[in-house]
Amino acid sequence: MNFLSRKELYVTMDMMKLNSVINLLTKEHITFINKTQNTTRQNGKAATLGLNNNGMFLYYIYVHKDDFEKAKLLIKDK
């Protein structure tokens, strides 16, 4: 799936919600790509010792634009 053929479906900081959405997409055989962005990094360094992991990462899920509407309906309550 190339960049132009996909749409951002879901963004969350909650790994449990991410896993729930991934499970739904997998059950429906919808191909997806997920990306993770570390929100604590500054100048290429991350100081995380003793920090709570909640809110440290942004999780993105992308699906093919042809599957977007189906996927959006599937996860509408998440």
CATH class assigned to 3-44+51-74: alpha beta
**Predicted model pTM:** 0.80
In order of 21, 46, 50, 57, the CA distances from 28 in angstroms are: 11, 37, 39, 26
The per-residue pLDDT for range 21-64, each reduced to its tens digit, is 999 999 999 999 999 998 876 655 555 555 555 668 899 999 99
